[in-house]
């Protein structure tokens, strides 16, 4: 009897921080793939709010109830990482037409560099179509509630980051 080959997908991103939109994509990817590797990218050109270690911890806690999840650090070319872990696909989210051009260019470049790697685009659920980590950080920094948009561990971390000294009435 031939052993079934496990299907592995990579979901790369900075996840600064992970949102419920990201989690929606992860849960849906878990229905299709045996293994989903969440690859937290190290991007020196970005100035992340949370450290790499914090982002990995947030993802670990937020996905602890899912099976087939692995979290890893991506520090280099995605296609080299994909080859190293024998991934068949890359998962990407598309929220709007504005995401498409960039994602399309990246998908074509990755295909050129590694023809065996497929890119699969997930449309977000309607309730998360507008979400981005940048928007979450902006709302939180201005004192707005992000409770319904992020996992509890992220909400608490954002509160701590943006709480002003002596402020007891945060999220009025």
Return the active site residues.
22, 46, 95, 133
DSSP string, 81-144: HHHHHT--EEEEE--SHHHHHHHHHHHHHHHHH-TT-EEEEEPPPGGGTT--HHHHHHHHHTT-
Whether the link from the prior residue into 17 is cis, omega within 30° of 0, is yes
Helix (H, G, I), strand (E, B) or coil at 163: coil
User: How far is residue 42's CA from residue 6's CA, in Å, rounded to a whole number?
Assistant: 27
Q: Check: CB of residue 74 under 8 Å from CB of residue 43.
A: no
User: How far is residue 39's CA from residue 32's CA, in Å, rounded to a whole number?
Assistant: 18
Q: Check: CB of residue 52 under 8 Å from CB of residue 18.
A: no
């Amino acid at each position: 009897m031939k052993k079934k080959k496990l299907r592995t997908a990579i979901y790369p991103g900075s996840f600064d921080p992970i949102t419920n939109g990201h989690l929606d994509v992860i849960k849906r990817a878990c229905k299709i793939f045996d293994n989903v590797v969440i690859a937290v990218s190290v991007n020196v050109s970005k100035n992340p709010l949370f450290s790499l270690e914090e982002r990995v911890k947030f993802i670990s806690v937020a996905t602890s109830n899912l099976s087939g999840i692995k979290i890893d650090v991506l520090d280099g070319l995605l296609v080299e990482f994909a080859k190293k872990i024998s991934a068949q696909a890359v998962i990407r989210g598309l929220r709007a037409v504005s995401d498409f051009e960039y994602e399309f260019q990246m998908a074509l470049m990755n295909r050129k560099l590694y023809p065996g790697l497929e890119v699969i685009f997930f449309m977000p659920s309607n309730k998360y179509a507008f979400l981005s980590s940048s928007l979450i950080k902006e709302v939180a920094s201005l004192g707005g509630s992000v409770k319904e948009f992020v996992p509890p561990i992220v909400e608490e971390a954002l509160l701590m980051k943006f709480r002003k000294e002596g402020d007891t009435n945060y999220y009025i």
